[in-house]
């Protein structure tokens, strides 16, 4: 048994040397309701732990021992405090970015470029999935890719009746084209960029025999990229977003060829040499091209082109089996749905059962609490309560004759006697006074819901309508 353990460790050490892991966790959650206040998206509770824990645990499971985590300056202390209470062995280095700067994800990567010396694995801090990330890394290795991406194909989003005012907001969708034979990611764009007609570059039809177009894939925001891609990102200084700008740019550039020296000319206003293009960064050092000339391997059957169509710049997409669980907690619906599913998926996600649904410092007096509920640190649940599929944060108090069904209670929440809450999210520090009946409601931070309030699909918050974004 000991031999097996040591074998796994040595293999994982090799992976750590090959890739550095970065988790982007500085998002404010622009598609989540502003009614949630200043809570960082990565600290939203999903089951017993904050969202960020799931990304770090995912890396730890495949053997990463260190990870760089990008966070907002103002969130660092709260994130450190939250992670210290979570079971983690991976060493995380929280790197702050200025809270007062409107930085995109590409700016964040440029910020840490001097700390990256290998190929890079970039994860979003809002990802929850049971995938083995080695599957993505192996696609990157197999094709010696410049860029490898991960998409989930779980079919249509599950319909779920959301708390808060009803909204007709539609989720953003990507148009993704993948060559069936080679797994090449050959086209990527936002569906919102097109009105009625989608125009595909003619060269794609000529080059690839069969292309699959998807419009309902979920971009996991997991990107494996060559180190030179980061160098290009820094030197070009023209991208602010990884997903919205850098990735589509690289995918599109696959269809181009490097310009010769006569076609390149000039310097920028700052006298920076701009004769280099992306292909100058994608140069191969060593014997890669010689090896490809000698190999009998081919990634495609038709045509006389060499391996990888002789392309120097190559992007690939990994789409796991439809049974793979993957969700990004970046909207109210995904936040709510992830909490509904998390305990039923726990062993599948984490690899071991959840040992403590109730924190050791909590006081749970009721026997009417089901196996789909969790209770956080120093929370007190009175004896005469009924709790089903509900997640209760730290320092909460639930009084007698309370019924909670499919609810999320964040930290420092008080539910007074005689209340009935169903499909309701109660944010940090809020109080629901005696005798209230709330169904599909949102209660904002530190808000007091007056006693005997009865409401359905309502927002109760210290805010104004124009500050609220629901999605």
> So what's the pLDDT on residue 384?
92
DSSP for residue 143: T
Quote the CA–CA distance of 382 and 391 in Å, as a whole number.
15
> So what's the pLDDT on residue 274?
54
Quote the CA–CA distance of 314 and 459 in Å, as a whole number.
48
> So what's the pLDDT on residue 285?
61
What are the tens digits of pLDDT across the range 217-230?
A: 999 999 999 999 99
Rg (CA), the chain: 25
The answer, yes or no, to whether residue 10 has pLDDT greater than 80, is no
Quote the CA–CA distance of 410 and 33 in Å, as a whole number.
15
> So what's the pLDDT on residue 170?
65
Interstrand relation of 414-415 and 397-398 (parallel, antiparallel or unpaired)? parallel
Residue 123: exposed, middle, or buried by beta-carbon count in 10 A (0-12, 13-18, 19+)? Answer: buried
> So what's the pLDDT on residue 85?
87
CA torsion through residues 142, 148, 152, 153, sign: negative
> So what's the pLDDT on residue 4?
37
Q: Are 386 and 368 in contact (CB under 8 A)?
A: yes
> So what's the pLDDT on residue 304?
56
Q: Interior CA angle at 362 toward 360 and 367, to 5°?
A: 105
- The residues near 178 (Cβ < 8 Å, ≥ 6 apart) are 184, 185, 186, 211, 212, 214, 317, 319
Comparison of pLDDT for 287 and 312, the residue scoring more:
312
Q: Are 203 and 311 in contact (CB under 8 A)?
A: no
Supply the pTM of this predicted model: 0.85
Q: Residue 138 belongs to what H/E stretch?
A: helix 134-142
Helix axis angle for 76-84 and 51-61, nearest 10°, is: 60
What are the tens digits of pLDDT across the range 133-148?
A: 999 999 998 888 999 9
Lowest-confidence region among 29-33, 64-68, 194-198, 273-277: 29-33
Look up residue 149 and give its two tokens: 């991406």
Cα 4–chain centre separation: 32
- Reported confidence tier of residue 299, pLDDT bands at 50, 70, 90: low
Average pLDDT over residues 349-376: 91
> So what's the pLDDT on residue 284?
62
Quote the CA–CA distance of 326 and 324 in Å, as a whole number.
6
The pLDDT mean for the chain works out to 83
> So what's the pLDDT on residue 303?
56
Look up residue 454 and give its two tokens: 């009865």
Count the Cβ atoms, other than its own, within 10 Å of residue 339. 23
What are the tens digits of pLDDT across the range 160-175?
A: 777 877 766 666 788 8
Look up residue 117 and give its two tokens: 């010396």
> So what's the pLDDT on residue 468?
39
Could you tell me the CA-to-CA distances from 151 to 3, 74, 428 in Å, in that order? 35, 31, 33
> So what's the pLDDT on residue 165?
77
> So what's the pLDDT on residue 1?
36
In 180-330, DSSP assigns E strands to 185-190, 211-214, 218-225, 315-318, 326-328
Q: Are 184 and 208 in contact (CB under 8 A)?
A: yes
Q: Give CA torsion, residues 402, 404, 410, 412, to 10 deg.
A: 10
Quote the CA–CA distance of 47 and 335 in Å, as a whole number.
11
Quote the CA–CA distance of 86 and 314 in Å, as a whole number.
39
Which candidate, 159, 162, 186, 164, places its Cα nearest to that of 175? 186
Count the Cβ atoms, other than its own, within 10 Å of residue 175. 18
- Reported confidence tier of residue 298, pLDDT bands at 50, 70, 90: low
């Amino acid at each position: 048994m000991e031999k097996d353990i040591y074998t796994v460790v040595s293999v994982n050490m090799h992976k750590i040397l090959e890739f550095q892991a970065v988790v982007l966790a500085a998002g404010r959650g622009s598609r989540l309701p502003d009614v949630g206040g200043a809570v960082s998206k990565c600290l939203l509770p999903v089951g017993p732990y904050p969202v960020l824990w799931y990304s770090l645990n995912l890396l730890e499971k495949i053997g990463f021992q260190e990870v760089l985590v990008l966070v907002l300056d103002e969130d660092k202390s709260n994130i450190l405090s939250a992670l210290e209470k979570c079971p983690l062995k991976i060493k995380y280095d929280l790197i702050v970015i200025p809270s007062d700067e409107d930085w995109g994800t590409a700016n964040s990567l440029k910020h840490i470029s001097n700390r990256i010396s290998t190929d890079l694995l970039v994860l979003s801090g809002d990802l929850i999935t049971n995938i083995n990330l080695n599957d993505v890394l192996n696609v990157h290795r197999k094709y010696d890719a410049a860029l490898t991406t991960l998409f989930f194909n779980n079919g249509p989003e599950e319909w779920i009746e959301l708390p808060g005012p009803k909204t007709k907001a539609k989720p953003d969708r990507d148009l993704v084209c993948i060559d069936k034979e080679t797994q090449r990611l050959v086209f990527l764009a936002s569906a919102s960029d097109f009105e009625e007609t989608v125009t595909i570059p003619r060269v794609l039809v000529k080059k690839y025999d069969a292309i699959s177009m998807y419009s309902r894939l979920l971009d996991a925001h997991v990107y494996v990229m060559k180190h030179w891609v980061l160098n290009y990102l820094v030197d070009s200084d023209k991208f602010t977003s990884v997903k919205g700008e850098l990735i589509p740019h690289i995918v599109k550039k696959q269809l181009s060829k490097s310009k010769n020296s006569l076609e390149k000319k000039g310097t920028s206003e700052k006298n920076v040499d701009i004769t280099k293009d992306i292909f100058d960064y994608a140069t191969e050092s060593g014997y890669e091209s010689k090896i490809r000339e000698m190999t009998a391997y081919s990634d495609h059957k038709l045509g006389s082109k060499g391996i990888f169509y002789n392309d120097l710049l190559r992007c690939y997409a990994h789409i796991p089996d439809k049974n793979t669980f993957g969700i990004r907690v970046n909207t109210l619906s995904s936040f709510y749905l992830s909490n509904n599913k998390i305990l039923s998926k726990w062993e599948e996600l984490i690899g071991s059962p959840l040992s403590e649904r109730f924190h050791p410092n909590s006081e749970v007096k009721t026997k009417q609490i089901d196996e789909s509920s969790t209770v956080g640190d120093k929370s007190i649940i009175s004896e005469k309560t009924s709790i089903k599929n509900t997640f209760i944060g730290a320092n909460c108090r639930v009084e007698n004759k309370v019924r909670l069904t499919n609810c999320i209670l964040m930290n420092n929440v008080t539910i007074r006697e005689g209340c009935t809450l169903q499909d309701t999210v109660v944010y940090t520090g809020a109080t629901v006074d005696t005798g209230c009946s709330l169904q599909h409601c949102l209660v904002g931070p530190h808000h007091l819901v007056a006693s005997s309030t009865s409401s359905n699909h309502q927002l109760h918050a210290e805010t104004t309508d124009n500050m609220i974004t629901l999605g």
